[in-house]
Amino acid sequence: MTKFQGNTKDGTEPLPAPPPLARERIPVQKSSVCSRSYFMVVMVFFHVYILNVIALLLYVHYNNASNAVGSDLDFTSRTNNHKIAEQLNTEPPSDTRFTRNVYLPRIEGIRVGHVQKVSLAPGKMHEMRTLSLKPLLFEIPDFLSEEECAVVVRLAQLKGLTESQVMVPEGQEELSQQLNLSPEEIFHLLDLNQDGQLQPQEILTHSRVRDGIWLTPENLREIYDGLKVDQDNNGVLSMEEFGQLNSDSFQRYLLQHGVKKSHLVRNSKHTWLYQGQGAHQVLRELRNRVTRLTRLPPSLVELSEPLQVVHYEQGGHYHAHHDSGPVYSDTVCTHTRVAANTSSPFQTSCRYITVLFYLNSVEEGGETTFPVADNRTFEEVSLIQNNVDLLDTRKHCDKGNLRVKPTKGTAVLWYNYLSDGKGWVGEQDEYSLHGGCIVTRGTKWIANNWINVDPDYQRQARYQQLVLQQQESQERQPDMNADEHTGNHQEL
Ligand SMILES: *[C@@H]1O[C@H](CO)[C@@H](O)[C@H](O)[C@H]1NC(C)=O
Ligand SMILES: *[C@@H]1O[C@H](CO)[C@@H](O)[C@H](O)[C@H]1NC(C)=O
C-alpha cells in the first residue's frame, strides 16, 4: 500500500517496458510457422485470452448476483423483507460498520404514465401510476375506501386538531447567537450569488426559514419603505444598508402591522394518530398497506412517525417545502436523536418516504403541487424570479410543473431522498419540493405517513437496537407494559 503511494506521488514509476511478446514475435514469423517458439507464443496468447474470458464471466456473474438481491424483492414476496428487518434488528452496530448488507428497495418508476399493479390487501389489486421520476412520485387511486377515510377524519376530530404553524423567532435568535455570527457573516451567508448585494429573493428565502412568516416580494418592498432601509431605492441591500438592521427588524415590522394566518408558511390544523399495536383497526390496516406498498422492512415502518391528519379550511394553504432537511455531517435526525452521540444544535426530520392520503375530494383548489417535478435542471435561484415565486402556493400554483388533484381515497407516494447507490438512503432529493395549493372552495382533509430512515446507517441500526432492548426490558416487567402505548404516544 505505502509502496504504491510512494510510486504515484513522486512520479518516479518507470515507464512500462514494451511487451516482451511483441519483440519475440518478429523473428518467429521469419522462421517456420511450426517452430516451437511460435507454438509457445500462440499458447501463451490463448491462455491469457481464456483467463480473461473466465475473469469477465465471473465478474458479470457476481455483479448480477449482488444486484439480484434487490430485484428479487418483488411486490408479493414478504419473506425477503422480513429477513432484512431481522438483520437490521439483530446486527450489532460495531460489526456492520463495513459489512452491512441491508438493502432498502425502491419502487421503480419506469417512465411517467407507467401503471403497475400492486397487491396491498388480500383479494384486491391496486394500480399505481408513475407521476414523475424527479422526484420519484406515484399515485394510487382507491388506496382507502370511503368508510376508511371517514373513520380517519372522525378519529382526528375526536382527538382534536391544533394550529399547524408555530412561530419560533426566539429559538432562531438563540441559534444565530450560539453560532456567534456578525452582521457581515450573516450578509455573506445570505448573499448566495456573492455579488456584494442582497437581492429580494435572497432575503425572502432566508426569512421564510427563519420565522415562518411568508414574505412576498410586494410586502418586502413595503417593509423596505416602512423601515427606510433601501436608501438609494435600487431594490437591493448593500452591506451598509443591511448592517443598520437588527436581525428581527422585518419581523417586528410585520408583527406591528398585523400578521394574518394567510401570511404564514402554512395555514392549517393537524393532529397525530398513533398506529402501533392496539391502535384502531383502520389505522393498523393503513400501516400494513403502506409497508406492502413501500416494500420496506416492517420494523422501519413500525418505528416511523404516527399518522398526521391535516385539515385545511377554505383559504388554507401550505407553501412549497421539503418534508426533510438536508443532512450534513453534524445534523442529527429527530427520530434517532437518542442514538446520536452528539449535542448538535442541528436537528431535522429524516423522512425517506412521504405517503399522502386524500381523505376527501376538494371542491376547488387544494391540489398538491410539485413545482419543479421533472424539470431538466434544478436551480434554487430560479424559484423566485421577476415577481413569480414558484414556492408561493397561494398565488402561483398554476405555474408549477405538476399538480395532483385531491380525490377521496387516493394516495400519493414520493421519495424525499435519493439512493446512496449502495442500498441505503443518500442525499435529499431537491426535486421533492411540494406544497398545498390554496383551497378556493370547500375544505380539505389529508393524512401523511412518513417513513423515517436515518441516512447514517450506523445511527439507524443503533436506534433500532435501543428500541429493541427497551421493548425486551418492558416485556420482563409486565406491570410496566400497560403504560407502554400511552408513553410512546405522548412522546410523539
Ligand atoms: C460518544 O462520545 C464520547 C465522547 O465524545 C466517546 O468517548 C464515546 O466513545 C462515543 N460513543 C459512541 C458510541 O460513539
Ligand atoms: C427548469 O428548467 C429550465 C430548463 O432547464 C430552467 O431554465 C429553469 O431554471 C428550471 N427551473 C427551476 C426552478 O429550477
Kindly give the distance from the C-alpha atom of residue 418 to the centroid of ligand 1, in angstroms, as a whole number.
Answer: 29
Give DSSP secondary structure letters for 8-29: HHH--PPPPPPPHHHHHHHHHH
What confidence tens digit (pLDDT) does each residue in 462-482 have?
A: 999 999 999 888 888 765 444
What confidence tens digit (pLDDT) does each residue in 336-394 have?
A: 988 887 777 778 899 999 999 999 999 999 999 999 999 999 988 789 887 789 999 99
Average pLDDT of the residues of the chain? 80
375 lines ligand 2 (CB under 6 A): yes
401 lines ligand 2 (CB under 6 A): no
Whether residue 13 is contained in a domain is answered as no
**E strand or H helix at 55:** helix 36-71
CB 109 within 8 A of CB 153: no
pLDDT of residue 166: 66
Whether residue 172 is contained in a domain is answered as no
CB 352 within 8 A of CB 406: no
385 lines ligand 2 (CB under 6 A): no
Tell whether 467 and 352 lie within a shared domain: yes
Whether residue 360 is contained in a domain is answered as yes
Tell whether 153 and 204 lie within a shared domain: no
Tell whether 230 and 314 lie within a shared domain: no
Q: Phi, psi (5° rounding) for residue 311?
A: -120, 120
Q: Which of 351, 391, 434 is CA-nearest to residue 132?
A: 434
Kindly give the distance from the C-alpha atom of residue 341 to the centroid of ligand 1, in angstroms, as a whole number.
Answer: 6
Kindly give the distance from the C-alpha atom of residue 394 to the centroid of ligand 1, in angstroms, as a whole number.
Answer: 47
Tell whether 90 and 205 lie within a shared domain: no
pLDDT of residue 101: 67
- C-alpha–C-alpha distance, residues 124 and 141, integer Å: 13
Residue that terminates a domain, selected from 247, 263, 279: 263
CB 313 within 8 A of CB 161: no
Beta bridge partners of 404: 368
Tell whether 283 and 254 lie within a shared domain: no
CB 406 within 8 A of CB 368: yes
**E strand or H helix at 427:** strand 425-428
Tell whether 283 and 380 lie within a shared domain: yes
What confidence tens digit (pLDDT) does each residue in 408-439 have?
A: 999 999 999 999 999 999 999 999 999 999 99
- What single-letter DSSP state applies at residue 437? P
pLDDT of residue 294: 97
Tell whether 443 and 334 lie within a shared domain: yes
The bound ligand whose nearest atom lies closest to the alpha carbon of 378 is 2
Whether residue 50 is contained in a domain is answered as no
Hey, whose CA ends up nearest to atom 6 of ligand 2? 377
Whether residue 30 is contained in a domain is answered as no
Q: Which of 4-8, 258-262, 401-405 has the lowest mean pLDDT?
A: 4-8
378 lines ligand 2 (CB under 6 A): yes
Beta bridge partners of 452: 351
Residue that terminates a domain, selected from 214, 231, 263: 263
Whether residue 142 is contained in a domain is answered as yes
Average pLDDT over every residue of 294-315: 96
Per-residue cell: 119: 397487491
Whether residue 49 is contained in a domain is answered as no
Q: Is 254 left (phi over 0), alpha (psi -120 to 50) or beta?
A: alpha
Total domains, the chain: 2
- C-alpha–C-alpha distance, residues 203 and 230, integer Å: 13
26 residue type, one letter? I
pLDDT of residue 70: 35
381 lines ligand 2 (CB under 6 A): no
Whether residue 349 is contained in a domain is answered as yes
pLDDT(489) > 50: no
pLDDT of residue 229: 87
- What single-letter DSSP state applies at residue 32? -
pLDDT of residue 409: 98
pLDDT(28) > 70: no
Q: Which of 363, 429, 433 is CA-nearest to residue 397?
A: 433
pLDDT(452) > 90: yes
What confidence tens digit (pLDDT) does each residue in 54-90 have?
A: 777 766 665 554 443 333 333 233 334 444 444 454 4
pLDDT(247) > 90: no
pLDDT of residue 144: 98
380 lines ligand 2 (CB under 6 A): no
- C-alpha–C-alpha distance, residues 86 and 80, integer Å: 10
CB 474 within 8 A of CB 480: yes
Tell whether 410 and 459 lie within a shared domain: yes
185 lines ligand 2 (CB under 6 A): no
Q: How many helices (H) and strands (E) does the chain have?
A: 17, 22
Per-residue cell: 450: 412518513
Return the axis-axis angle of helices 169-178 and 200-211, rounded to nearest 10°. Answer: 110
What confidence tens digit (pLDDT) does each residue in 187-196 have?
A: 888 888 889 9
pLDDT of residue 42: 67
Residue that terminates a domain, selected from 210, 242, 263: 263
Residue range of the domain that includes 470: 81-165+266-490
Beta strands in 124-250 (DSSP E): 124-132, 137-140, 162-163
Q: Phi, psi (5° rounding) for residue 217?
A: -55, -35
Percent of the chain exceeding pLDDT 90 equals 48
Q: If you count them, how many residues does the chain have?
A: 492
Tell whether 274 and 303 lie within a shared domain: yes
pLDDT of residue 68: 37
433 lines ligand 2 (CB under 6 A): no
pLDDT band (50, 70, 90) for residue 232: confident
